[in-house]
Amino acid sequence: MVNAGNAKMIDRGNTETLILDAAMQVFLEKGRHGARMQEIADRAGINKALLHYYFRSKKNLYAEILSRVFRIFYARITEAHRPGLPFREQLRLFIDVYVDMLDSNPRIPLFLAREMSEGGVIVSDFMKRFQQEMDPAVPDLIVSAIEQAASRGEIRRVDPRHFLMSMIGACIFFFVAKPLVLTIFKDSGWMESQAFVAERKQAVFDLLYNGLNPGGISS
């Protein structure tokens, strides 16, 4: 048998992936504490003991998922950076990619937020590692893009860190607080449409880019 040798490996890989996929679903939905090992096993269609066979403990499995989520997150943001673009386009691209990611993975920010509320040590560790490994790290890229644009006079001079926080916050909020927002604005459907997401992107871009306009300001 030519491929008999790796049938086992394929299967091993399969089981492991099955577990990871199921675990990701459940952890994203229920969080670290709310998640149940049994539910993960059920959703993966395997025996619960296998969870401990492949990943020693719940804590371990959780860390694995956290890492996975974080990698997805980081990878998408990395895509959003194309050096050399005028800042205006750079900003538009970033908002576009970022909001799209949030739109298709609305649970991720909430998941990370929960982790934050538990102290955020693990996520912070990942971030530290990523910042060292990836060179240069994404945040630094964005920061320097802002600084350069300011030097060129394309935008006014601002603290890039503050701008970054405001931008990310503006992008994220709607997706994190969706149920509340829908209630506040008595929305019935429109805000859940794809068109609304596009509108949201435009609104954030307009506000932020205008907010960086060299004219104006006299606080």
Structure tokens at 161: 């860190």
Give ∠ CA 148-152-155 in degrees, rounded to 5: 85
Measured CA to CA, the distance from residue 199 to residue 156 in angstroms comes to: 25
Site size toward a copy of itself, by CB under 8 A: 67
> What length does the chain have?
219
Measured CA to CA, the distance from residue 41 to residue 50 in angstroms comes to: 8
User: Least Å distance between CB 7 and a copy of itself?
Assistant: 40
By CB under 7 A, which span of 30-38, 108-116, 171-179, 191-199 interacts with DNA? 30-38
Q: Which of the listed partners (a copy of itself, DNA, none) does 23 bind, with a CB threshold of 5 to 8 Å by partner kind?
A: none
By CB under 7 A, which span of 36-44, 114-122, 177-185, 193-201 interacts with DNA? 36-44
Q: Does 17 bind DNA (CB under 7 A)?
A: no
The Cα-based distances of 12 to 15, 17, 18, 44, 98 in angstroms read 5, 8, 10, 14, 34
Measured CA to CA, the distance from residue 178 to residue 28 in angstroms comes to: 16
Of 2 and 180, the one with the shorter C-beta distance to a copy of itself is 180
Measured CA to CA, the distance from residue 199 to residue 195 in angstroms comes to: 6
Of 50 and 138, the one with the shorter C-beta distance to a copy of itself is 138
> Which spans of this chain sit near a copy of itself (rule: CB under 8 A)?
30-34, 107, 110-114, 116-121, 123-124, 127-128, 131, 139, 156, 158-159, 161-163, 165-174, 176-185, 199-200, 202-213, 215-217, 219
> Which spans of this chain sit near DNA (rule: CB under 7 A)?
1, 4-8, 11-12, 15, 35-38, 46-50, 52-53, 56-59
